[in-house]
Structure 1
Amino acid sequence: MRTLFLQAPSFEGFDGGAGSRYQAKREIKSHWYPTWLAQLAAMVPDSKLIDAPPHGITLDQIVPQANDYDLVVMHSSTPTFASDIATARALKDVNPKLKIGLVGANVAIDPKRSIEKAEPIDFVTAKDYDFTIRDVAQGKDFAEIGGLCYRDNNGDIQETAPRPTLTDMDELPFVTPVYQRDLKIENYFIGYLKHPYISFYSGRGCKSRCTFCLWPQTIGGHKYRTRSVENVVEEIRWAKAAMPQVKEFFFDDDTFTDDLPRAEAIARELGKLGITWSCNAKANVPHETLKVLRDNGLRLLLVGYESGNQQILHNIKKGMRVEVAKRFTKDCHDLGITIHGTFIMGLPGETKETIQETIRFAREINPHTLQVSIAAPYPGTFLYNQAVQNGWLTNTEQDLVDNNGVQIAALSYPHLNHTEIFHSVEEFYRRFYFRAPKIASIVGEMLLSREMLQRRLREAVEFFAFLREHRRVSH
């Protein structure tokens, strides 16, 4: 089937790509790669991938292409579900014979209910849908394809048997050739990564049980299923030659350091290639491993600290001790490894006092940059079920973003309400960044590079615009 893989337009500046941990409009211009869709496109020869948000492609530009395809597969998220359905309806209006399917965490958790709410949609998938989509694109009978929920010829909804969990990750083709073919990689920005960068997965799943985290609880699972070292290195070798402008490779695995011997083995091979790379890590990597990674091209670790309060870390099943995180961070500073730290306001157990404790913690450990998010109870997560059961989320259909795509505070507690959680984000940013040592560090970085000067000035304009928007939403 002539197949289009589509990340549809939604909110202006919205970062809804499948690599996004929080699908929302960012403080600064930010776009992750549509890796899940690119993986599917790599499975289907002669297909096309359109990632509308980073490329500024509008619905009016996409709809006329409806007659060029037999099949459209869209990645959907909880915040964009309504607009994704509107896109599907517009495509069907032009080409009623078009088959349209949705993939993503929000439909995988309850496929039947998702398709019931999505009249123009012909099918949705459960998790591990790579080969499911390949079978659809090959024109196989829906009834014979595992992991599919679909409308039959009578309009009735049918579900097939679950597809077995994918274990041999080397069966999947590389995604980077799809990036090169269909995407302009210069359109992808992440504030803490060198530009242009490339992100992709070397494995799926995460051993941790964090109650808020979307992907392991919906798509990836809690077993870290990995590609072989040789397979990963071969893709990077290919991408380095095919896209020499790339300045940094980012492993977007939920926790690349879940398997330390493998991480070290990959690092040693990357060291031979002479590339700069970064990854997601838990704040418990031992000094000896950090040194191996650093010595072989590691520049930055993205670390989910979440909170500086030990009880909150227990509440969310983080499996992390504050003192261990402090020691790990000091080791990174000593080794010259840059850290981008992420924190979440409004997790269960949060109070006015714990917010201040976390801000003090962030200032003490002093990552180079940080991101502060609001606790988002995505359907399909333990946090969502916990919120419904405890009455923290009074409207179970409540959106996670406002009409402009800006994240809202969906949770509220008897001792800490929506507004207080929402305002804590701005306070956190101001108290971390608006202090002399941090300002001096950023200015020094800008003075060393004209490119970084221009980039940081642009980001500053975007950041202050974010703060203004944040205040507008709060009122």
Structure 2
Amino acid sequence: MRALFLQAPAYDGFDGGAGARYQARREIRSFWYPTWLAQAAAVLPGSKLIDAVPHGIELDAIVREARQYDLAVLHTSTPSFRSDLIALEALKAANPALIAGFVGAKVAVDPAGSLGSSPSIDFVAGNEFEFTIREIAEGRELSRIVGLSYRDRDGTIRHNPPRQVLEDMDQLPFVTPVYQRDLTIEKYFIGYLQHPYVSFYTGRGCKSRCTFCLWPQTVGGHRYRTRSVTNVIDEIAWARHAMPQTKEFFFDDDTFTDDRPRAEAIARELGRMGITWSCNAKANVPRETLKVMRDNGLRLLLVGYESGSQQILHNIRKGMRVDMARTFARHCHDLGIKVHGTFILGLPGETRQTIEETIRFATEINPHTLQVSIAAPYPGTELYRQAAEQGWLDADNAELIDHNGVQLAPLSYPHLGHKEIFDSVEDFYRRFYFRAPKIAAIVGEMARSPQMMRRRLREGVEFFRFLRERQQEAH
């Protein structure tokens, strides 16, 4: 079958790609690559990938193009499901013979509810869906495809056995040829990465047990299954040749540093190639590993600190001590490794005091940049189960975003309400960025690079506009 893979139109600036841990509009316009869709598209030669929002592609244009295809696969999420369903129904209305379905954590954890939301949905696929989709495209009977829930000819919803987890990750083809073929990489911005950047996965799964984290609990699992070092380096070499404008490569694995010997081996190969790169890391990487990575092209680490309160870290099973995170941050500063720190407000046990602890902790360790999110209980996570059982979840905010695609505060506690959690995000940003040393550092960075000056000025305008919209939403 001729296959169309689609990240559908949504809110302006909405970052819905699979690389986005939180599907929402950002403080600064940012887009992750639709890596999981690209992986499935790579398995099917002759397929087409459309990532609508970054490329400004409207639904009408996609509907016209969809008439050429036999199969449409849309990635969806809890925040975007309603708008994604509108897109799928429009494709089916224009091409009734089209077989159309969803992939993503939302449908993996609730296949029956997802299929029941509309008779237009023919199937939803669970974990490791690349080869599930390939078997659909090959024309196999849906009843014989593992990892699939589907609607049969009578309209009855059927569930097949789950697909076995993929162990040999080198079986997967490279995703970067799909980027090069179907995407404009200059459309993808991340505030803390050099532009243009390219990101992809070198493995799946995360051994950590954080209660809030979506991917390991829904589609990735808690074992870190990795591609071989040679396989990863071969893709880097291909992508550097095919997309020479790339300034930086980012490894989007949940925790790239979970396998330190492998991380060091990849780093040494990248160093020989002269590659600038960054990755996700936990704040427990020892100095000697940090130095090996720094000496071989590592520029930045994306680190999920989450909170400066030890009790909250225990509550969410982060497996991290605040004093260890301080030591890690000091090593990164000493070695000249930039850190983008991510924090979450509103996690179980949050109080006014723990929010204050977290803000003070962030200013103390002083990452180069940071992101402050609101705790989001995605279905399929331990946090969602806790919230439902304890009555913390506001059903009116279950979609996790507002009508503009901006994060809501769906959790509240007897001692800490929605509005206080929502407002604390802006307070956090202002107290971190509006310090004299941080302002001086940003101005110095801009003065050294005209390109950085243009970029930071644009991001500043977007940031203040975002804060203004949040204030209007709050009132």
Which TM bucket (shorter chain)? over 0.9
Aligned length: 475
Aligned twin of 2:118? 118
Aligned twin of 2:194? 194
In the TM superposition, residue 397 of structure 1 has moved relative to its aligned partner by 7.1
Aligned residue identity for 2:249:
F
Aligned twin of 2:462? 462
Equivalent-residue separation in structure 2 for 1:112 and 1:44 (angstroms): 27
Note the aligned Cα RMSD (angstroms).
Answer: 0.8
In the TM superposition, residue 65 of structure 1 has moved relative to its aligned partner by 1.4
Equivalent-residue separation in structure 1 for 2:263 and 2:121 (angstroms): 41
In the TM superposition, residue 114 of structure 1 has moved relative to its aligned partner by 1.2
User: Are 1:45 and 2:53 an aligned pair?
Assistant: no
Q: Percent identical across equivalent pairs?
A: 71
Equivalent-residue separation in structure 2 for 1:128 and 1:280 (angstroms): 21
Classify the secondary structure of the residue corresponding to 2:72: strand
Aligned twin of 1:145? 145
Unaligned runs of 5+ in 2: none
Equivalent-residue separation in structure 2 for 1:413 and 1:80 (angstroms): 26
Aligned twin of 2:94? 94
Aligned residue identity for 2:98:
L
TM-score w.r.t. the length of structure 1 is 0.99
Deviations 1:440-463 (A, max 9, x none): 000101111111000000000000
Classify the secondary structure of the residue corresponding to 1:422: helix
Aligned residue identity for 2:84:
D
Deviations 1:248-300 (A, max 9, x none): 00000000000000000000000111010000000000000000000000000
Aligned twin of 1:258? 258
Contact 2:27 2:466 in 1 (8 A): yes
User: Are 1:238 and 2:258 an aligned pair?
Assistant: no
In the TM superposition, residue 388 of structure 1 has moved relative to its aligned partner by 0.4
Change (3 A) 1:410 1:394: closer
Contact 2:397 2:410 in 1 (8 A): no
In the TM superposition, residue 66 of structure 1 has moved relative to its aligned partner by 2.2
Instruction: Map 1:355-394 onto structure 2 (within 5 A).
Output: 355-394=355-394
Classify the secondary structure of the residue corresponding to 2:65: helix
Equivalent-residue separation in structure 2 for 1:173 and 1:161 (angstroms): 25
Contact 2:332 2:338 in 1 (8 A): yes
User: Are 1:32 and 2:32 an aligned pair?
Assistant: yes
In the TM superposition, residue 118 of structure 1 has moved relative to its aligned partner by 2.8
In the TM superposition, residue 155 of structure 1 has moved relative to its aligned partner by 1.0
Aligned twin of 1:168? 168
Instruction: Map 1:183-332 onto structure 2 (within 5 A).
Output: 183-332=183-332
Classify the secondary structure of the residue corresponding to 2:410: coil
Deviations 1:61-110 (A, max 9, x none): 11111211000000001011011111111111111111101000000012
Deviates more, 1:126-135 or 1:33-42: 126-135
Equivalent-residue separation in structure 2 for 1:118 and 1:26 (angstroms): 30
Contact 2:397 2:409 in 1 (8 A): no
Change (3 A) 1:472 1:357: same
Classify the secondary structure of the residue corresponding to 2:149: strand
Classify the secondary structure of the residue corresponding to 1:68: coil
Deviations 1:8-29 (A, max 9, x none): 0011110000000000000001
In the TM superposition, residue 396 of structure 1 has moved relative to its aligned partner by 7.7
In the TM superposition, residue 239 of structure 1 has moved relative to its aligned partner by 0.4
Aligned residue identity for 2:460:
A
In the TM superposition, residue 159 of structure 1 has moved relative to its aligned partner by 1.1
In the TM superposition, residue 208 of structure 1 has moved relative to its aligned partner by 0.3
User: Are 1:354 and 2:354 an aligned pair?
Assistant: yes
Aligned twin of 2:341? 341
Classify the secondary structure of the residue corresponding to 2:186: helix
Equivalent-residue separation in structure 1 for 2:143 and 2:58 (angstroms): 34
Deviations 1:189-238 (A, max 9, x none): 00000000000000000010000000000000000000000000000011
Contact 1:197 1:248 in 2 (8 A): yes
Equivalent-residue separation in structure 1 for 2:399 and 2:4 (angstroms): 28
Aligned residue identity for 2:276:
T
Equivalent-residue separation in structure 2 for 1:441 and 1:119 (angstroms): 55
Equivalent-residue separation in structure 2 for 1:407 and 1:394 (angstroms): 14
Deviations 1:359-380 (A, max 9, x none): 0000000000000000000000
Deviates more, 1:277-286 or 1:465-474: 465-474
Unaligned runs of 5+ in 1: none
In the TM superposition, residue 384 of structure 1 has moved relative to its aligned partner by 0.3
Equivalent-residue separation in structure 2 for 1:463 and 1:284 (angstroms): 31
Classify the secondary structure of the residue corresponding to 2:379: coil
Equivalent-residue separation in structure 1 for 2:120 and 2:273 (angstroms): 48
Equivalent-residue separation in structure 2 for 1:295 and 1:231 (angstroms): 22
In the TM superposition, residue 394 of structure 1 has moved relative to its aligned partner by 3.6
Equivalent-residue separation in structure 1 for 2:157 and 2:389 (angstroms): 29
Equivalent-residue separation in structure 2 for 1:394 and 1:355 (angstroms): 21
In the TM superposition, residue 139 of structure 1 has moved relative to its aligned partner by 1.1
Equivalent-residue separation in structure 2 for 1:367 and 1:129 (angstroms): 36
Contact 1:388 1:396 in 2 (8 A): no
Equivalent-residue separation in structure 2 for 1:335 and 1:399 (angstroms): 41
Equivalent-residue separation in structure 2 for 1:342 and 1:180 (angstroms): 30
Equivalent-residue separation in structure 2 for 1:12 and 1:169 (angstroms): 35
Contact 2:5 2:73 in 1 (8 A): yes
Equivalent-residue separation in structure 1 for 2:369 and 2:315 (angstroms): 26
Contact 2:4 2:66 in 1 (8 A): no
Classify the secondary structure of the residue corresponding to 1:241: helix
Equivalent-residue separation in structure 2 for 1:231 and 1:295 (angstroms): 22
In the TM superposition, residue 119 of structure 1 has moved relative to its aligned partner by 2.2
Change (3 A) 1:342 1:57: same
Equivalent-residue separation in structure 1 for 2:65 and 2:54 (angstroms): 19
Aligned twin of 1:104? 104
Classify the secondary structure of the residue corresponding to 1:402: coil
Deviations 1:299-334 (A, max 9, x none): 000000000000000000000000000000000000
Aligned residue identity for 2:69:
Y
Aligned residue identity for 1:85:
L
